[in-house]
Structure 1
Amino acid sequence: MSSSPSATASARGTGLAGLVVGLCWLAVLFDGLDMFIYGSVLPHLLATGTFGLTADQAGDLGSYATFGMLVGALTAGTVADRIGRKKLMVGCVTLFSLASGLCALAGGAEVFGLGRTLAGVGLGGLLPTAISMVSDYAPRGRAALTIGVLMTAHHAGGILSACVAKWLIDPVGWRAAFWVCVLPLLFAPVLARFLPESLSFLVAKGRTEEARELATRYDVELPVAKSGKKSAADRWDALANLFRGGEWLQTLLYWCASFGGLLLVYGVATWLPTLMRTEGYALADALTFVVVFNVGGIVGMLIAGRAADRFGAPRISALWFALTAVGVYLLGVHLDQTLTMVIVFLTGVFLNSAQTMIYATVSLRSTPDNRATAVGWTSGMGRFGAVFGPWLGGQLLAAGNGDWGFTAFAITGVWSTVFIGAAALRSVKPGVRAGSGQELVGSH
């Protein structure tokens, strides 16, 4: 029996939407590769004395990229509103690819640091833009699932970074790893050619017919035009609402939890292979731990939302952070290698999705008109933790306290457990279903 024309058109549209999601997934994969590559080559840089690098300087360099990500994340929305999300994604991929080339060519720590900072700007701008893009083009009824799948690409990039380091550093040298990170530059023209413009951007710019034609072709819903653009006063009023009445305490609890969560995410991502080296593991084994950690991150992203749907995002976030603290602490105990692999995997499962559940919690407790502000500021405050995490690891190693590295990160896990747990104990607003975690899958 032949398919009806409408069914055929729907299937074709779903396939085209899948292409958009696939392109965004690859872009985020390259984002993850570029983000994690520094941590993967860092043990070699320190062991060989490249650039005369000391542990505290290495921590500073790690923070340069996360500071750049802070700048990129804060400016991405404004730039995207002006030039469109498609152009911004192409620009971000181009920027972090060329910046990696600068790192590969660097003759000193200053130029290398500049390259990492510029790469961070591109990395910070890409992820939220890609999430917005797939939200527009996700198959009908699968927006949350699609964003969750997109987030797995970041951890797949972490796996790829460890593999690149294992394959290239010994036979070719550390610069080759950064040259691999330049290859996504070849992907930028592919994005420019095949990625459509964001539907939300087109609608906001009054290009409604163009947006409607794309929505029909890709078989997705057309975003509803906003009634009006918020003025600066409106935006500041939305921020002030986070502190009115009893909300100030809840807001600060979320911000403190997010600070600790992103400190953990980026601190562990930067220093995991180096800290495992200080525990006596060979470089190849330390890089294998990075692979296992990110495999755990992928699994965690796929199960966290379901767990939050059943038990509530705040409870899951608090429990996940507590289990992360235990796991990170145990990494500082030299156990049987197989058992250590299991602990690394479980730590990856809990750590990466614990932060995501903070965003889900904030989204659930916010009113629709204040949700974007609440989530954005929670993420923004967390970014300061992302800058602090790599620096903290470097300072501990430089002071000869490398053994305290995992302990310090474990304490941070307890920190976030306490703050998100305190938020979970406060009553949920009327009309908000505590067990739902689908409104936001979130990003780092």
Structure 2
Amino acid sequence: MSSSPSPTARGSRLALLVVGLCWLAVLFDGLDMFIYGSVLPHLLETKTFGLTPDRAGDLGSYATFGMLVGALTAGTVADRIGRKKLMIGCVTLFSLASGICAISDSVAVFGLGRTLAGVGLGGLLPTAISMVSDYAPRGRGAIVIGLLMTAHHAGGILSAYVAKWLVEPVGWRAAFWVCVAPLLFAPVLLKLLPESLSFLVAKGRDEEAAGLAARYDVELPATSGRKTAADRWDALLGLFRGGEWVQTLLYWLASFGGLLLVYGVATWLPTLMRTEGYELTNALTFVVVFNLGGIVGMLVAGRAADRFGAPRISAVWFALTAAGVYLLSVHMSMGVTTLVVFLTGVFLNSAQTMIYATVSIRSTPDNRATAVGWTSGMGRFGAVFGPWLGGQLLAAGNGEWGFTAFALAGVSSMVFIGIAALRTPRTATPTDTEQNLVAAH
């Protein structure tokens, strides 16, 4: 006689469904983010729209500027309409924006598409992290968030294969049409994805929240009072009181250099590898290897930080990243270069994540969210600057200096987070950092 699944087992399966839906949404986010860098060598070689390296750098910055806008507004919009609706809106926005890129007949229209895509991309990731934090199986929150972050790099891998399979035989527009396909995923989210428990609790919809928590066998978020504008302003000022301004600026500068490095390399890796003499197919293979390294790095960095401390790991990781990025300016054998690209991917992405972990751990509970959010926001300016910088170097005929410039950004972040690591933190109280660890990446 067969027995029906226990409520706990059934709830865990439902929770994993939510995590799986969010993973797919972030996969599409990564695909759309990385597709521009994957097709960029082709766009430059064919002089599409009369594209020049400096103009290509501007276009790369449009998406990251859009991400800045999306990340800064996501919280406010989610508080009004709910996290589920915001996720669906973000997926719809960056999918339709890719359609604008696919049909564009000028740089201006293409740039508009990339900017709108960036807004959707910037709003999706922190919202998805909030969702999986609500519905992760009991005691599995940190692991689930780490798993979610692998989806972004899996999207980067997919973008390289889309470019390899479609750009040469069909054309670059086909790659962007593929990025429209996630639009079909929006109705799936509408039907299957529940609303965020945190949102329901904040809105006073306690019965609905309790019902969902019981159904998915997850803990109901604690009720917390909504902060007024005065509260938020006081939390921001708290980052600069009592000499804390030094620590705050160190975190901001480290984040600026880190995201400059992350998005500069993400945009220009295939093109810079082409300038180093590698064939286009090999250059796109490096995108796959780089993102595989990113997946591994996300899974191992947290364990290393728990043992040795997040600021120390971040500083060491940035040093290793800078060394790896600089070595890419040296033409080596294919095997050695592939290994260097992989290791650079391992350290680069998780080095930035460890900055957020450091800020979260060293902040007081009342201003933790503000500290992490502003560190992320300042870093986003580096994300805008990185793609532009690569384009300017290539336009000036100094493409060989591209990897060197990005390596120097890694060195600067190593110095700033290293100095922060040597300073005595204001608080050493243990905290659950899993929601703040990667929310602003």
TM-score range, shorter chain: over 0.9
Q: Which residue of 1 aligns with 2:116?
A: 118
Residue of structure 1 in register with 2:385 after alignment: 388
Q: What runs of 5+ residues in structure 1 fail to find an aligned partner?
A: none
CA distance in 2, matches of 1:303, 1:357: 11
2:32 is paired with a residue whose SS is helix
Structure 2 counterpart of 1:23:
21
The match for 2:332 is 335
CA distance 1:437–1:303, shift in 2 (3 Å): farther
Q: Is the 8 A contact 1:328 1:347 kept in 2?
A: yes
1:356 paired to 2:373: no
Give the TM-score, by structure 1 length. Answer: 0.97
Match of 2:321 in 1: 324
Q: What amino acid is aligned across from residue 371 of structure 1 in structure 2?
A: R
What pairs up with 1:44-443 in 2 under 5 angstroms? 44-226=42-224, 228-432=225-429, 440-443=436-439
**How many residues get paired?**
440
Aligned 8 A contact 1:305 1:437 in 2: no
- Same amino acid, percent of matched pairs: 81
Contact 1:165 1:177 in 2 (8 A): yes
The CA deviation string for residues 61-119 of structure 1, in whole angstroms up to 9 with x for no partner, is 00000000000000000000000000000000000000000000000100000000000
**Structure 1 residue 428: Cα displacement:** 2.9
Provide Cα deviations, 1:312-362, integer angstroms capped at 9, x if missing partner. 000000000000000000000001110000000000000000000000000
Q: Is the Cα contact below 8 Å between 1:327 and 1:343 reproduced in 2?
A: yes
Deviation per CA, 1:243-284: give whole Å up to 9, x if none. Answer: 001210000000000000000110000000000000000000
Aligned partner letter, 2:183: L
Indicate the SS of the match to 2:424: coil
Q: Is the 8 A contact 1:331 1:406 kept in 2?
A: yes
Gaps of 5+ in 2: none
Give the superposed CA RMSD.
1.3
Cα distance in structure 1, aligned partners of 2:189 and 2:204: 24
Give the SS at the match of 1:13. helix
d(CA) in 1 for partners of 2:245, 2:426: 15
Report the 3-state secondary structure (helix = DSSP H, G, I; strand = E; otherwise coil) of the residue aligned with 1:246. helix
CA contact (8 A) 1:364 1:439 kept: no
CA distance in structure 1 between the partners assigned to 2:27 and 2:430 by the alignment: 33
Indicate if the aligned counterparts of 2:22 and 2:148 stay in contact, CA closer than 8 A.
Answer: yes
- Cα distance, 1:213–1:334 mapped onto 2, change above 3 Å: same
**Could you tell me how far apart the structure 1 residues matched to 2:66 and 2:96 are?**
15
Aligned counterparts of 1:438 and 1:203: Cα–Cα separation in 2: 20
Read off the aligned partner of 1:39 and give its amino acid letter: G
Q: How much does 1:296 deviate? A: 0.1
| Secondary structure of 1:391's aligned partner | helix
* Distance across 2 between alignment mates of 1:427 and 1:238: 20
- Could you tell me whether the CA contact under 8 Å between 1:305 and 1:441 is conserved in 2? no
CA distance in 2 between counterparts of 1:84 and 1:48 reads 44
1:105 corresponds to which letter in structure 2? I
Question: Per the alignment, in what secondary structure is the counterpart of residue 150 of structure 2?
Answer: helix
Is the contact between residue 37 and residue 162 of structure 1 (CA under 8 Å) also seen in structure 2?
Answer: yes
Q: Secondary structure at the match of 2:376?
A: helix
CA distance in 1, matches of 2:433, 2:400: 37
Letter paired with 2:243: G
